[in-house]
Amino acid sequence: MDQPEDRSDEPPRQAYGGRDPSRALSLAALGQFDDFRSLYEALAPSLYAWARLRTGSMALDPDDLLQEVWIRALQSGSGFDPEKGSFRAWVFGIAKHVYLEALRKRPLRRDLSQISGSGALSLWPDVATSIRSRMARDESVDKLVEHVASIDELDRKILIHCGLEDMPCSLAAVRLGLGVEAVTKRWQRLRAKLRTSGVEELLTP
């Protein structure tokens, strides 16, 4: 039996949705670099896990993806609207655009500073150090990647969409060509298994 079609790399059909505390942040607060940085650093392990799962078969380094997403998020910070959804979903929306561009531009240009402004790039080293320091103390990314390798392709897609990208089950169902109830139940089962594996903090709140 053929797998349902995954249209997750198509442009999003609706505004990002989410439930995390950053919904309450005002656009004025996001204009403060320290607030913006704190939100991004908290999300970075989840984004890094997503990047490893998405880029495993292509010449795109997850570190490069994190860097480019950070730069673009800084450049378009005013584009985040907490009334439309979570900061997490907004950042993952940027990540998906970067990923699709990398697919179209193979081989990927290694100097990502040519794509984005050098001003934003100059802020990256300190942020990158903080992110790597956190991940060095946290094995959850490796655990999640290992877990995904052990599940079937459909569950893998549901975990990426609902668990990492903060995509509502209703939208994931449309993308996968499945019923909402089927996707919701599969995601609930997946999440229940992951609660005992030490990766809960990487998933959508």
Give 157's contacts (C-beta < 8 A, 6+ positions apart): 6, 8, 172, 176
Residue 152 has a pLDDT of 93
Q: What per-residue confidence (pLDDT) applies to 120?
A: 52
CA atoms of 60 and 162, how far apart (whole Å): 23
CA distances from 19 to 45, 122, 189, 203 (A): 18, 32, 20, 12
pLDDT at residue 80, as a whole number: 78
What is residue 30's predicted lDDT score, i.e. its pLDDT? 47
According to the model, what pLDDT value does residue 34 have?
Answer: 67
Given this model, what pLDDT does residue 18 score? 35
Domain 139-205 has CATH 1.10.10.10: yes
Binned average pLDDT, 10 residues per bin, the chain of 205 residues: 51 36 41 71 88 71 81 75 84 89 62 47 69 75 89 94 94 96 96 85 86
pLDDT at res. 58: 57
Task: Please name the residues in contact with 74: beta carbons below 8 A apart, sequence gap of 6 or more.
Answer: 36, 120, 123
